[in-house]
Amino acid sequence: MDVSVQFKKGVLELCVLVLIQRKDQYGYELAQSISKHIEVAEGALYPLLRRLVNDNYCTTYLQESTEGPPRKYYQITPLGNSYLTRLILEWEGFVKDVSNLIEEGTEHE
């Protein structure tokens, strides 16, 4: 359990960027989109989003909604886009390396 929590934390940034690259989303929507795929403490999203904004990987804009408070939408920046491309490449390489390592281990046994 604890191990997978650490895994998820590590890739949360990648998942968030992928999701907002597809379309601008607001915090709650984003939380739902992620929870659909992986179980994660949704509260961790907001500090992460703040950091992404601070690092200029995404920007925010407010949009009035017919129901409830105005929604803060997150939009990816060009910088965020290139960062995401790099992240995905790294992620794929990493997953491949780890898989290779595990397979290599079972071959020797």
Residues that bind another protein (CB under 8 A): 27-28, 31, 35, 41-44, 46-47, 49-51, 67-69, 71-72
Reading the block at residue 20, the tokens are 């907002």
Q: How far is the CB of 54 from another protein (least distance, A)?
A: 9
Q: How far is the CB of 13 from another protein (least distance, A)?
A: 12
Reading the block at residue 50, the tokens are 């703040």
Element (H, E) at 52: helix 45-54
Q: Among residues 37 and 108, whose Cβ is nearest to another protein?
A: 37
Q: How far is the CB of 47 from another protein (least distance, A)?
A: 5
59 phi and psi angles, rounded to 5 deg? -125, 165
Reading the block at residue 46, the tokens are 């907001």
